Amino acid sequence: MSAQQQPTSKPSPAGSITSSDHAGADSKTGTGKDVRDAVPPTAPALATQQTQRMEAALGDAILRFLRIRKGPKAEEYDLDAIATQPSIWDSENLEEYKEAYIHPQWENKEAFDPSFRWTWREERQVRRKVDWKIMVWCCVMFAALNIDRNNINNAVSDDMLPDLGLTRADYNLGQTISRVGFLVAELPSQLISKRFYRPGSVDPNSDLLFSTISGLQFFLKGRASFLATRYLIATFQGGFIPDTILYLSYWYTGTSLPIRLAWFWMSSQIVDIGVGFAAVGLLSMRGILGYEGWRWMFLIEGCFTFSVGLLSFFLMPQCPARTRSWWNPKGYFKEKEVKIIVNSVIRDDPQKGGMYNRQGLSVRQIWECSKDYDMWPLYALGLLFGLPKYPVNQYLTLSFRGLGFNVIQTNLLSIPNIVGSSITMLLITALSELVNNRSFVSMAEDAWLLPCFVALIALPDPISPWAYFAIATVLLSFPYTHPIQVAWTSRNAGSVQNRTVSASLYNMWVQVSGMIGANIYQSNDAPRYFKANKGLLVICIWMCVVQYPFTFFYYRWRNNQKAKVWDAMSPEEQHNYRTNTTDVGNKRLDFRFAT
């Protein structure tokens, strides 16, 4: 039984307000009566409020697996006890909150029932069903995206550049153009899916488009076709990640989503391992029908990802309340299961009922979200935190070939760092659970990279091939903190509108980081890239000493500002604020930022 499903209660972490971030603010004041105490007399009892924070689920599971933390004994909880969490929907002012939070065209409105109750056993069964029906296929789709996005690294190990008459400068330009494609498509793609398609519908369309172009790389002729395909693949992939994260947020509560996001990114790394092994066989097809191995690799992997996109049309439903179709008339879930999904999510975050899936964002809404200064520290992290790793990763296979390793050795030697990064990602998530912090835990990625760049700079020239392999492998085995920061961004956005835009803006800054990283290693600094590595070392130091600490103290300062005003209000003033305020999302006084 996962941590988020256990009916045990934990103290709420400092600086955050759980159960939708709105209902629990009163309890911090120590005065007056919480709206959650005002349960309608006809409603069954509620569970003890569950207050596990974001990122806790995976870390808690790992700590229990390692026996660092003991799990509750079976007799300490009752699976048949009520699992329904307290929320503002249990207030005597229910109709006012419905008008304030629930959009008339919300797709799940028919399943919303504030008086509905369910048990921990039922919730666990439903969560497992959602995992298998929804989450697993989202991971498969993400794996398909990463196959077509990253197999260029395997292709260049098979002499793709000389085969096409390309230089390393052309390769850098192609990687830069790829990031530009992601950048320009990130927000438009998500807004198109929000307005014209159901979430889960635009993603298969994009899968079909980028997989087709990826397969057509079999026919590359030279520089122009190489650059064109790099741009088009990225353009049709842009928006997939934030759109999918937004889609998943309608199926999972704030405490159950982070563990799924961790496995979501884990699927990317797992598929990279598989692609590495597959490349060994596919690249060995060089000479068949007179074509190079990298051409066969692009064609075969493109056909595979195309089939994933095709199947996604039939496997991805619109929302929990609408899973029936002509090919699946019974749908994925029974009526009670749908109500458990919908009501658990809307109790956790009432603002998830504030937009319906096809409601588009206006230009004004986009502008308002973009100028939300409280999200800027996270965008700044997205720009710089991963920058140092890009050049080493981009040039890994080329560096191995330049040091004398053959095609098969190069592709096999590129696998250990992926395994290492997968392990450290799990460990860093467990650490985030132990220390109850995002800012300093996320800093671990740059702290890990720092000594590796010191080694790359300090070792004498020429460097031993195996010494470079060891350093590069350790460097690229960094603890991947991107999933923590994505969940952090989603948590601090505060509203569906802001969450939609902020997810794209954060990823856009990550793409800008990739564009910069694609051009750091230059031919005049080869083969050791001393100047570039010194600059990357400075960035690592900046992130550890300045930027992450600043982000932590900024959000703590903002929470103290809000708490000072909120705690000075009487219970009546707090209730009046909830029902009449024009403040939305993270600008509400009863919202607390995650630090």
Q: How does DSSP assign 390-402, residue by residue? A: HHHHHTHHHHHHH
User: Where in 334-465 does DSSP place strands (E)?
Assistant: none
Separation between Cα atoms, residue 204 and residue 226, nearest integer Å = 24
pTM of the model: 0.75
User: Cβ distance 382 to 513 under 8 Å?
Assistant: yes
Residues whose CB falls within 8 Å of the CB of residue 518, separated by 6 or more in sequence, listed in order: 172, 175, 176, 178, 179, 390, 391, 394
Superfamily of segment(s) 122-558: MFS general substrate transporter like domains (1.20.1250.20)
In single-letter form, the type of residue at position 536 comes to L
Measured CA to CA in angstroms, residue 17 lies from 171, 417, 448, 497 at distances of: 48, 38, 32, 20
User: Cβ distance 243 to 205 under 8 Å?
Assistant: no
Query: Residue 424's Cα: distance from chain center in Å?
Result: 17
In single-letter form, the type of residue at position 93 comes to N
Could you give the residue range(s) of every CATH 1.20.1250.20 domain in the chain? 122-558
| Local confidence pLDDT in tens for the 595 residues of the chain | 343 334 333 333 333 333 333 333 333 333 333 333 333 333 445 554 444 444 455 566 666 666 676 665 545 567 888 888 888 887 777 777 777 777 777 778 888 888 888 888 998 899 999 999 999 999 999 999 999 988 999 999 999 999 999 998 999 999 999 988 888 876 666 555 555 444 444 457 788 899 999 999 999 999 999 999 999 999 888 878 777 877 888 888 877 777 787 788 778 888 888 888 999 999 999 999 999 999 999 999 999 999 999 998 888 888 888 888 888 888 888 889 989 998 888 888 777 776 544 455 566 767 877 888 999 999 999 999 999 999 999 899 988 988 889 999 999 999 999 999 888 987 887 777 677 778 889 999 999 999 999 999 998 888 899 999 999 999 999 998 887 888 788 788 877 677 777 877 888 888 889 889 989 998 888 888 899 999 999 999 999 999 999 999 999 999 999 999 988 988 888 888 888 888 888 888 888 888 8
With H, G, I as helix, E, B as strand and everything else as coil, classify residue 544.
helix
